[in-house]
Amino acid sequence: MRRAVVTLAAVAVLSGCGLGAQSAPEPISIPRPSTTEPEVGGDPDGPRVRVWFVRGSRLEAAERPAQRPGLTPALDALVAGPSRGEVVEGLRTALSPQSLTPDRPAAADAVVTIAVSREFTEVAGGNQLLATAQVVFTVTEFPGVEAVRITADGSPVEVPTDDGLTAQPVGRDDYASVAPPDQPPGTPSSGEAPPADPSTAPPAAPSTPGRRRRDVTGP
């Protein structure tokens, strides 16, 4: 079965297309918080989306209310980051504040292509892998979506994985080092995944220097 693919519009002209390898460990900094407090409650019977943040050095899922199901609300909630209460409890995000906007509806393919802005490519140190993993885990919550290709200004971006840098599509198995300890990396979270909505969904452990991940089949 082929995987569904989502494209997010880039909001800035990029100076480069690679995140680059890290030669030495760097402290992980916490990006400046969003100016808008994320909504975490909402109608318990209404639509909800699942997004992925960071606790310690691993990902952790969080649910958010949404006006409608679909990838767009999920990405908006991901960019909004954890609430103040969640931050106090130790939840954070490796993503800097930025805009991720779906560019076209998802086809019945297998890979979601996401065009990122300069803020994404400027993520430093261990946050490189974590930020990419947050996007990958959030997008692959949707049925049929199993991999993500990151692009910038129309060109593939090299992103860090557990096996090094790659410009090929990446999936949950590429981020086993930061997956929740009680969940296999290629398995979606427990609970009902939000349904795919073609009208709304187009829809960083440091990388190893000098090492390339094996190619992943993509469209």
Q: Which helix (H) or strand (E) holds 115?
A: strand 111-115
What is the rounded CA–CA span in Å between residue 102 and residue 189?
Answer: 23
| Count of alpha carbons within 13 angstroms of residue 131, beta-carbon side | 28
21-78 pLDDT, tens digit per residue, is 444 433 333 344 444 555 555 556 678 899 999 999 999 999 999 888 788 888 889 9
The sheet with strand 58-65 has its strands ordered as 58-65, 48-55, 91-92
On the question of a cis peptide bond just before residue 143, with omega within 30 degrees of 0, the verdict is no
Q: How far is CA 36 from the centre of its chain?
A: 20
pLDDT (0 to 100) of residue 114: 82
Lowest mean pLDDT among 17-21, 62-66, 111-115: 17-21
More confident residue, 2 or 88: 88
142-166 pLDDT, tens digit per residue, is 888 889 988 888 889 999 999 999 9
pTM of the model: 0.67
- What six digits make up the tokens of 145? 């979506």
Q: Which helix (H) or strand (E) holds 184?
A: none
Contact 164, 177 (CB under 8 A): no
The percent of residues in the chain predicted with pLDDT above 70, rounded, is 57
Q: At what angle do helices 71-80 and 127-139 cross, to 10 degrees?
A: 150
More confident residue, 82 or 96: 82
